[in-house]
């Protein structure tokens, strides 16, 4: 297939311009909502995530379980599922490739004649990304119970190319997106390999030191093992003062919590930061600031939900949600030294986490975990300097991989948008 640039005509704001030979219709002309109710006693239960439609394992208490799945909506391969409750965080729609049932809280769209649902799956993804579906939402406020009403969805304007072109675009994007996703997966695997390499180096140094101790003692802690005789094995609460972030989600009227001047650090910011958090994707308004908690520059941070056990040092004053902890080292404990200890013990944090709908690490459990420590400040300094040099090289390689991932994700979004709005054509 060949992609070529074309001239377009003006159309709906959420779409931009489309080719002269395309038409603008509405969702209700292309799809109907499937609202049947299942009578199955033991159905295959599905869930909708940004990674696709998944079969839920309800035998191991995965996620929130219903008392009964009777009355759930039957789904068959080719159905287009949309999440009307999460309009902010990403592309929450997907084509089902399996049969099963799903909560009627989701929109299940069946395609009418000469409508290719794969094309519109890509189209709706662009509408989530562009916040066009968010703009059509309704609720108590922008940030509280903000959902998409089906009446608003069905009257939403959509581009309608010929059926043949819908299929051509979907085929092209299926192939191209798969290539991009494979490249992203390989880059993520490389990051994981680099992190494992780096973590092994750090673990050896923070548990054994640099000075090849002649005498050691057993800590009876599996991940630590033997430590130099003059070191100690203490609980985290004796090494640092710990506090939890706050996000008391109670907006008033239509005031917004986000998009203001105040940096708001989330778990992903910590996970991708390396040693220091220098960037952020979300900000708080004055209202958001008032319901969150400020942490000063230099705070050692750790995630306790989703990406459990990721650590980084805050490079500026910022606000934290309750999924992030802040640590202030006590006397004779260097901040970066403690960072390296926590970095080495990520798997211990993960093991200690509580499994529910996602991993959650209780702050009280963190306080009771044991760590190796030397109170010799010169030795701490030597360890930090050594690890800074060793890890700096690996961190630069990781940073390059993250840059590649960002570029690939941006390219994926741009090519999807250009094709489903006709800015470029598949011939």
pLDDT, tens digit (0-9, with 9 covering 90-100), for 63-97: 445 556 888 999 999 999 999 988 876 778 999 99
CA atoms within 13 A on the CB side of 425: 15
| Domains within the chain, CATH numbers bracketed | 23-160 (3.90.220.20), 232-373 (3.90.220.20)
Nearest to 289 by CA among 243, 326, 321, 324: 321
CA distance 17 to 11: 5
pLDDT, tens digit (0-9, with 9 covering 90-100), for 56-69: 765 554 444 555 68
User: Concatenated DSSP letters for 300-368?
Assistant: EEEE-BSSTT-EEEESS-EEE-TTEEEEEE-TT--HHHHHHHHHHTHHHHHHHSEESSSEE--HHHHHH
**Model pLDDT, residue 58:** 59
Whether 355 shows a pLDDT value over 80: the answer reads no
pLDDT, tens digit (0-9, with 9 covering 90-100), for 359-400: 678 899 999 999 999 999 999 999 999 999 999 999 999 999
Whether 330 shows a pLDDT value over 50: the answer reads yes
**Model pLDDT, residue 311:** 96
CA distance 306 to 400: 24
Looking at every residue in the chain, the average pLDDT score rounds to 89
CA distance 148 to 245: 30
CA distance 109 to 123: 14
3-class SS letters over 74-118: EECCCCEEECCCCCCCCCCEEECCCCEEECCCCEEEEECCCCCHH
Instruction: Look at strands 216-218 and 300-303 and give their pairing.
Output: unpaired
Nearest to 384 by CA among 231, 210, 234, 212: 210
Whether 139 shows a pLDDT value over 90: the answer reads no
**Model pLDDT, residue 63:** 46
Write down how long the chain is. Answer: 427
| Residue 89 token pair | 């965080």
**Model pLDDT, residue 142:** 47
Nearest to 2 by CA among 180, 169, 178: 169
- The pLDDT confidence band at residue 130, using thresholds 50, 70 and 90, is confident
Chain Cα centroid distance, residue 142: 21
Which range of 117-131, 240-254, 353-367 scores highest in mean pLDDT? It is: 117-131
């Amino acid at each position: 297939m060949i992609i070529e640039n074309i001239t377009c005509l003006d159309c709906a704001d959420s779409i931009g311009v489309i080719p002269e030979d395309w038409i603008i219709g509405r969702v209700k002309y292309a799809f109907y909502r499937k609202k049947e109710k299942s009578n199955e006693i033991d159905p295959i239960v599905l869930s909708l995530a940004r990674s696709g439609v998944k079969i839920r394992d309800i035998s191991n208490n995965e996620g929130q379980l219903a008392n009964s799945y009777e009355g759930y909506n039957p789904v068959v391969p080719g159905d287009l599922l949309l999440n009307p409750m999460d309009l902010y965080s990403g592309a929450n729609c997907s084509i089902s490739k399996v049969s099963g049932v799903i909560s009627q809280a989701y929109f299940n769209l069946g395609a009418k004649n000469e409508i290719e649902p794969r094309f519109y799956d890509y189209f709706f993804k662009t509408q989530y990304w562009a916040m066009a579906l968010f703009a059509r939402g309704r609720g108590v406020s922008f940030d509280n119970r903000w959902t998409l009403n089906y009446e608003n969805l069905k009257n939403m304007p959509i581009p309608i190319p010929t059926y043949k072109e819908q299929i051509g675009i979907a085929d092209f994007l299926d192939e191209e997106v798969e290539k991009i996703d494979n490249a992203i997966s390989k880059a993520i695997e490389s990051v994981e390999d680099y992190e494992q390499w780096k973590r092994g180096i750090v673990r050896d140094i923070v548990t054994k030191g640099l000075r090849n101790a002649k005498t050691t003692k057993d800590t009876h802690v599996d991940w630590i093992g033997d430590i130099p005789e003059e070191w100690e094995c203490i609980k985290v609460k004796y090494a640092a003062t710990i506090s939890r972030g706050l996000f008391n989600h109670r907006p008033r009227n239509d005031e917004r919590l986000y998009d203001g001047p105040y940096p708001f650090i989330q778990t992903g910011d910590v996970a991708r930061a390396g040693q220091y958090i220098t960037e952020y994707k979300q900000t708080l308004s004055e209202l958001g600031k008032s319901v969150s908690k400020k942490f000063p520059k230099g705070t050692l941070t750790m995630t306790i939900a989703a990406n459990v056990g990721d650590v980084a040092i805050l490079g500026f004053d910022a606000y934290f949600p309750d999924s992030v902890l802040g640590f202030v080292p006590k006397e004779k404990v260097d901040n970066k030294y403690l960072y390296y200890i926590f970095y080495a013990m990520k798997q211990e944090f993960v093991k200690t986490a509580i499994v529910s709908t996602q991993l959650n690490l209780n702050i009280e459990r963190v306080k009771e975990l044991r760590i190796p420590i030397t109170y010799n400040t010169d030795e701490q300094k030597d360890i930090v300097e050594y690890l800074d040099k060793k890890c700096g090289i690996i961190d630069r390689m990781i940073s390059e991989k993250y840059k590649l991932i960002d570029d690939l994700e941006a390219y994926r979004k741009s090519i999807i948008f250009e094709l489903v709005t006709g800015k470029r054509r598949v011939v």
